[in-house]
Chain A
């Protein structure tokens, strides 16, 4: 059903229904955002079963901690995306995950994940991927790490052997580039 017709509500409607524990809204929320959140999760965790587990955990957490969401501090999607990212990173660093990937360390994971991700891109998002590819390589490297791999900017700075300030600037420039392309 949801695959045929995406249910949509405005963000204030969603938030209000979610915070009053309206069960129906979770369905709507899932219909609207599950694929976007899964896009984020599945780039951090390429193992399908684990990624789907994280997606499930994400919605459980959204449902359970909806009361903690404060709309004055940001958009609902940002809040949800950060739940998804944090849960993904937690999973990535958990014993569970490492066991399932035969004790590969994070850095090995990065290249592994990267290769896997190229396969999972669907034709609808090729334009965006291309857009990111068209970023200057130094900008793209930073965005890849913090957005796709779930790196913190500190970890990215270590990985790329750059000062923290430079990493932060490059993240900003990359996002400005995205903003320009979307607007």
Chain B
């Protein structure tokens, strides 16, 4: 499905990495490891089309994925370092902007997604009043609402407690069982059964 073919990335004049290649089939997961600054975030952003490749190409089902960046975005659900939440809006309002669900089904889908991350009781509170871990879980709920095939997770377990990490493991497993793909950059052990490991070093 997704194929990364000998890509390289530049940050200014600095070469972050070069000649990286891997393939990811439907239902597969990949864990990116490597020390700080080895380019895990850069690689995720490059796959998402948020950063240009200095060399190489990213293929989706055999075709150049980055030719149509807007269309490519629909395949991607990106959980970055930041939660991308507006503090003045409630969890429900935050998610309503991003949910790729038909309007009449949106409220129910958001409720389900918040239930899946265990936040159904806090849905009506401004995100400002949630803890860092709870905000992270709202951002995880956005993944569920994206309908995207490929989840790009950048340190997804930041600020999460053990129970929430386990729950994220279940959510990624369900996503993969439905044919989705996951690429996660993580220091901690996110429970991703049978995930391949890709080391950036």
Say if A and B assemble together: no
Interface residue ranges, B against A (CB under 8 Å): none
Interface residue ranges, A against B (CB under 8 Å): none
